[in-house]
Amino acid sequence: MSRLRTAAALAAAALITATAGLTTAAPAGSAVPHRVLFDNTKAETAGKADWVISSSQPDPLAQNAHPTKEGDWTGSFSSWGVALQKTGQYSLKTLPPGSTITFGTGAPLDLANFDTFVIPEPNVRFSPDEKAAIMHFVQNGGGLFLIADHKGSDRDHNGIDSTGVLNDLLSNNGVDDDDPFGFSVDLQNIVKEDPRAVNDPTDPVLHGPFGTVTKSIIRNGTTMTIKPAHNPTVKGLLYRVGFGGSTGAFFVTSTFGQGRVAIWGDTSPAEDITGQNSGLHDGWNDPAGTDAALALNATAWLSKA
C-alpha cells in the first residue's frame, strides 16, 4: 500500500470515529425512506442541459406532491425522480444553484443527511472543500452516482467540461489522489452506440428490484478506463460492443471505504423530454436501452435499499 493510501486509510478511520452520529444509511428494517440528493450546483442546466428532477428545488414535492407520470415534475430527469417517488421508499431533494456541497456541518442539505448523492454532468470544478466532502461522504457509507458526458460538452463555456471536472475529483481530491474508485473518465465523444451488459446474473445493478438490465445507449457520450490495481472492487457492467476488461466501460461500479460508487458515461440514457430546454433525447423510454432499470437499480444499490 502506498504512503498516500495509508494516510488516506488512517484519515478515513479517524473521520468515521469522529462522525459516528452522522451515519448515511437508515437502520435495517427502518421505515425511513432512502434519501437521495441530486446536485444542481455545477451548471447542470447550462446550455441545452436540464439534468434536474423538478423545477421546484430543493423539494420537488412543492411542484406536485403526488406525481404519477414524468410530466408531473418539470426537468429532464423527472422520470427518474417520479419513478423513485412513486415507490414510497425514497425521499428526494435537489441541492440548488448557489449552494455548497458539504459533509458533517449539520445543515439540512448536508450530505450526511442523505444515502445517495447524484452528480449529473457537472460543468464547474468542485472546490477543494467540496471534493473532500464528497470523498468523506463515500468513506462513511454514502452512495455516489456520477454521470459524465462527452468531451467538449462545456455547456457554460468556462473552459472545463464534465470529463475534466470528474477526473479532477478522482485525481486531486486531497483524500486519495490516485483514482480511488478504480476508474478514470475517457476524453471521447462517441456519437451513437448501444453498449451491452456483461453476463453476471448475481450483480444487483444488472438484476435488481426495478428489472433486468441488458443494454444502454450512447448519444454523444464517453466511457471509462478501469484500474483494478487502484481499487480491486471496480467492475465494468456495460461495455461498448467489441470492448471489455479495462477499456470501453460505459457503466462502472466500485466501493470505497464503507460506501458505494457508480458512474455512467452519458446523460442521454437517463433523460426524458419534460425538461425546459430544447434538443432533449428521450433516453429513458428509448427501446434501444433498458436505461430506466439501470438508473433505478443503481440508485437502489447505492442507497443500500
Q: State yes or no: pLDDT of 71 exceeds 70.
A: yes
pLDDT in tens, 206-251: 999 999 999 999 999 999 999 999 999 999 999 999 999 999 999 9
Say how far apart CA 36 and CA 41 lie, in whole Å: 15
Report the pLDDT value the prediction gives residue 88, as an integer from 0 to 100: 96
Q: Which CATH number fits domain 3-11+34-302: 1.20.1690, 2.40.160, 3.40.1010, 3.40.50?
A: 3.40.50
Average pLDDT score over residue span 277-283: 75
Q: State yes or no: pLDDT of 24 exceeds 60.
A: no
Report the pLDDT value the prediction gives residue 3, as an integer from 0 to 100: 37
Q: State yes or no: pLDDT of 4 exceeds 80.
A: no
The confidence band for 18, taking pLDDT boundaries of 50, 70 and 90, is very low
pLDDT in tens, 152-181: 998 889 999 999 999 999 999 999 999 999
Cβ atoms of residues 290 and 238 within 8 Å: no
Range in 7-21, 81-95, 114-128, 255-269 the model is least confident about: 7-21
Range in 30-44, 105-119, 157-171 the model is least confident about: 30-44
Q: State yes or no: pLDDT of 132 exceeds 70.
A: yes
Average pLDDT score over residue span 258-277: 92
Report the pLDDT value the prediction gives residue 133, as an integer from 0 to 100: 98
Domain boundaries, the chain: 3-11+34-302
Report the pLDDT value the prediction gives residue 191, as an integer from 0 to 100: 97
Q: State yes or no: pLDDT of 42 exceeds 80.
A: yes
For residue 180, which of 222, 234, 223 has the smallest C-alpha distance?
Answer: 234
